[in-house]
Amino acid sequence: MTTNFVAVERAIRGAAPYGLLDTVRAALGKHYGAVSVELLMADYSLTVLQPVTELPHTAKPLPVHASAEGRVFGSQDPRTHVESTSGVVQLHLPVTVRGDRLGILSVRVPEERCTQEGVAELAALAEILGHEIVVADRDTDVYLQARRASRLTLAAEMQWQLLPGRSCSRAEYAIGAQLEPAYAIHGDNFDWATTAETLTLTITNGMGEGIGASLLTNLAVNALRNARRAGIGIADQAALADQALYAQHRGEQYVSTLLLSFELATGRVRVVDAGSPQLWRQRARAVEQVPFEAQLPLGMFEETDYVAQEIQVLPGDRLLFVSDGVYAALSEAGEAYGDRMLARAIQNASLLPAAAVPRAILQELAAYLNADADDDALVVCLDWFGRDTAA
């Protein structure tokens, strides 16, 4: 990389958490001749890109599905636009951290600076900025506030803070996830964690409404994390979380959860089905629900024993995890979405990357219901690539 790149990288990494954008503007102006720099954050519903500005936010958001910046957010490929009269090129660069799409960095630079090497360096700096935003979120609300097209309910605030992200990727897999109604979600949740050899994924379908549902899910997710971080298997993770929930609520409240542990080298998956979330699989052109032996939801009875089942995933498989707010949602005619339309929606999203699939399915659900979902609706998509054992 050039000395200009190194200088901007150092400036970004040394910036105050709340001052990242000002630092990027100054550094790109000095070292790349940038005329303007704007940072746009994807909102919680993934429908608009919100400019990062001072409060109160008054800059106009851009639609994800009808703007140049939105197309780059979807494709994750940097794009350039030459302004015909000014000799300036506008670059839209993904701000993404390990597959988690945060937003777009829009930079206007002189045309002579827009070489192949220059674009590559600016794209890499946008990724560095994304990493620094993730770290900065511990110390400032600036970027979290910029994600809001409207106010979150308190329950939704608790749920979004509990999530690991909305997408992630590595060589063996890519994950995308979304919750709706994004600004008023209360009980549904997802979580993941990876090691060098495993991926653990949990899908939670919490009962109840409002803050009560969010508190219940919070307890369940943290109980599962506590057990997972103790290094025990998913059957025992479920048992320990079950005990924690029962001790608190004595069976009056419980949580439906699907727990999965993937072996990255083999595609072998251990599964505990403790309730209502469903798994659907797309393999080649076939879409089908994958049934499991249903076990009791977490916290329903004292000291429940859980048993893990096994399945095998193959390179090219797409796995879809959905809550009952998706598959059991009823049309005006009384037909459940999972009866026919869910498989069709999965097929329709076949060409999309994993990160874009949940939103596409939830949009089709809204069209099916002729309204936005009022019950919690969760979709998680996992594309399995497998490990190249010959490498």
pLDDT in tens, the chain (391 residues): 799 999 999 999 999 999 999 999 999 999 999 999 999 999 999 999 999 987 666 678 999 999 999 999 999 999 988 876 778 999 999 999 999 999 999 999 999 888 899 999 999 999 999 999 999 999 999 999 999 999 999 999 999 999 999 999 999 999 999 999 999 999 999 999 999 999 999 999 888 889 999 999 999 999 999 999 999 999 999 999 999 999 999 999 999 999 999 999 999 999 999 998 999 999 998 999 999 999 999 999 998 999 999 999 999 999 999 999 999 999 888 999 999 999 999 999 999 999 999 999 999 999 999 876 667 999 999 999 999 866 5
CB atoms within 10 A of CB 340: 10
Dist. CA 55–CA 57, nearest whole Å: 5
Q: What is the DSSP letter of 181?
A: S
Dist. CA 57–CA 62, nearest whole Å: 13
- The maximal CA–CA distance of the chain, rounded, in angstroms, is 73
293 CB burial (10 A radius; 0-12, 13-18, 19+): exposed
State the pairing for strand pair 62-63/173-180: unpaired
**pTM of the complete model:** 0.94
Q: What is the pLDDT of residue 81?
A: 84
**Token pair recorded at residue 380:** 């998680």
**Token pair recorded at residue 21:** 């954008």
Classified as helix, coil or strand, 362 is: helix
Q: Is the dihedral of CA 149, 153, 154, 158 positive or negative?
A: negative
How far CA 348 is from CA of 65, 98, 340, 344, in Å, comes to 17, 26, 13, 6
Q: What is the pLDDT of residue 276?
A: 85
Measured in whole angstroms, the distance separating CA 305 from the mean position of its chain's CA atoms is: 31
Measured in whole angstroms, the distance separating CA 311 from the mean position of its chain's CA atoms is: 24
386 CB burial (10 A radius; 0-12, 13-18, 19+): middle
| Residues facing residue 269 across a β-bridge | 262, 311
Q: What is the pLDDT of residue 56?
A: 65
Residue 322, CB-side half-sphere exposure with 13 Å CA sphere: 27
**Token pair recorded at residue 54:** 């001072």
Whose structure tokens read 């969760």? 378
Which amino acid, residue 50?
Answer: Q
Q: What is the pLDDT of residue 372?
A: 67
Q: What is the pLDDT of residue 1?
A: 77
Q: What is the pLDDT of residue 353?
A: 96
Q: Are 382 and 175 in contact (CB under 8 A)?
A: yes
> 300-328 as b/e, with b when 16 or more CB fall inside 10 Å?
beeebebebeebebeeebbbbbbbbbbbe
Dist. CA 345–CA 340, nearest whole Å: 9
Closest CA to 133 of 91, 97, 163: 97
CB atoms within 10 A of CB 242: 29
Q: Are 375 and 187 in contact (CB under 8 A)?
A: no
Number of residues written out for the chain: 391
